[in-house]
Chain A
Amino acid sequence: DQQVKQNSPSLSVQEGRISILNCDYTNSMFDYFLWYKKYPAEGPTFLISISSIKDKNEDGRFTVFLNKSAKHLSLHIVPSQPGDSAVYFCAASAPRDDKIIFGKGTRLHILP
């Protein structure tokens, strides 16, 4: 049972445009959400997070939006740059449950 779902295995976006990566979750107990970015042959690196008490968190070109009622979050990258081409993992954790659960990832291609 996949508690964190990234339904788009891949996404292609023109350089300079907005990239929107989506993530759905099923466990209503999740209260902390994270996005990780992964380049080939490297471990995932933390990108941005959001607590369930917020609905938006922004860090430079990256913004994460959380819609708790829909159990949905999204990562917006504006403007998209070539270096953003990577696999993006959505992750979540619940209180008193220390493990971080990851989605399968979305491969983002930024087109020149």
Chain B
Amino acid sequence: DSGVTQTPKHLITATGQRVTLRCSPRSGDLSVYWYQQSLDQGLQFLIQYYNGEERAKGNILERFSAQQFPDLHSELNLSSLELGDSALYFCASSVEARENTEAFFGQGTRLTVV
């Protein structure tokens, strides 16, 4: 158990809909990362928050947004969903923004868009 909790574990929704994925980081971790893993793809970095502020942005679509709340949990919002958005979405957390620390991953949310 990494200490990072992601909910829900599975999500099935229709095209055009909007979903929210939730992540609770490890206790004490200030940094939260979101990654997308599609079929045959590695972990694609989406976005990082550190202590409530956006810190780094990757290949995140404009239809996607995220935020980190004062209690440090984070949500990833995916809207106008398309079939191609079906993927595993991982959240990870670390103590610092970087400083040569590894990130601890949650078990992921499997999103299926039908």
User: Contacts A51-B100, A98-B31, A100-B103: A44 and B43 contacting too (C-beta < 8 A)?
Assistant: yes
**Closest chain A residue to B46 by CB distance?**
A99
**Closest chain B residue to A47 by CB distance?**
B102
Q: How large is the interface on A (under 10, 10 to 19, 20 to 34, 35 or more residues)?
A: 20 to 34
Contact (Cβ within 8 A) B2 A101: no
Q: Distance (Å) between the CB of B11 and the closest chain A CB?
A: 15
CA of A32 to CA of B107, assembled, Å: 24
**Closest chain B residue to A49 by CB distance?**
B102
A97 near B: Cβ within 8 Å?
yes
User: Contacts A44-B105, A98-B50: A103 and B2 contacting too (C-beta < 8 A)?
Assistant: no
Contact (Cβ within 8 A) A98 B48: yes
Contact with B along A1-25 (1 / 0, CB 8 A): 0001010000000000000000000
CA of A89 to CA of B45, assembled, Å: 13
Interface members, chain B 6-53 (any A CB < 8 Å): 6, 31, 33, 35, 40-45, 48, 50
Contact (Cβ within 8 A) B103 A98: no
Contact with B along A77-112 (1 / 0, CB 8 A): 000000000000101010101111111110000000
Contact (Cβ within 8 A) A98 B97: yes
User: Contacts A49-B100, A99-B33: A89 and B56 contacting too (C-beta < 8 A)?
Assistant: no
Query: Which chain A residues have a beta carbon within 8 Å of chain B's beta carbons?
Result: 4, 6, 32, 34, 36, 41-46, 49, 51, 89, 91, 93, 95, 97-105
4 new A-B contacts at CB < 8 Å, known A43-B107, A44-B90, A91-B43: A32-B98, A46-B104, A97-B56, A99-B48
Query: Which chain B residues have a beta carbon within 8 Å of chain A's beta carbons?
Result: 2, 4, 6, 31, 33, 35, 40-45, 48, 50, 55-56, 58, 90, 92, 97-98, 100, 102-108
